[in-house]
């Protein structure tokens, strides 16, 4: 039987070879490679979504103010 370790990200046990050890505020914890990659991916997704949402909010604010919406890139080219 393969040795398993408790993954604190998934709250389940995985084979030891998939696990990475992490120092946290609460001491040493084990996380599986999959949960680390999933976290990294979701951060990138969130960043992309945040930038898009910022641009949408800006466009809406400018339209409300009665000004034509100029995308950031075009605005930079005007200078
Ligand atoms: Zn896991």
Residue 51 CA, ligand 1 centroid: distance in Å:
29
If residue 41 lies in a helix (H) or strand (E), which one and from where to where? helix 33-64
* CA–CA separation, 68 and 79 (whole Å): 17
Work out the average pLDDT over 34-58: 90
| Structural domain boundaries in the chain | 4-33
Cα of 3 to ligand 1 centre, how many Å?
14
Buried-exposed string 45-77: b where 16+ CB fall within 10 A, e elsewhere? eeeeeeeeeeeeeeeeeeeeeeeeeeeeeeeee
Using the predicted structure, report yes or no on whether residue 20 has a pLDDT greater than 90.
yes
* pLDDT of residue 39 exceeding 70: yes
User: From ligand 1's centre to the CA of 23, what distance in Å?
Assistant: 16
Residue 78 is predicted with a pLDDT of 65
In the prediction, which pLDDT does 79 show? 59
CA of 69 to the centre of ligand 1 (A): 45
SS3 string, 60-71, reads HHHHHCCCCCCC
Query: Separation of 21 CA from ligand 1 center, angstroms?
Result: 12
How would residue 1 be classed by pLDDT, with cut points 50, 70 and 90?
A: low
């Amino acid at each position: 039987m393969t040795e398993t370790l408790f993954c604190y990200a998934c709250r389940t046990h995985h084979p030891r070879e998939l696990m990475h050890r992490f120092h946290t505020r609460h001491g040493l914890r084990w996380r599986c490679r999959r949960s680390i990659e999933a976290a990294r991916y979701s951060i990138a997704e969130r960043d992309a979504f945040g930038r898009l949402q910022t641009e949408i909010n800006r466009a809406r604010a400018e339209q409300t103010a009665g000004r034509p919406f100029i995308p950031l890139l075009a605005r930079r080219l005007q200078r």
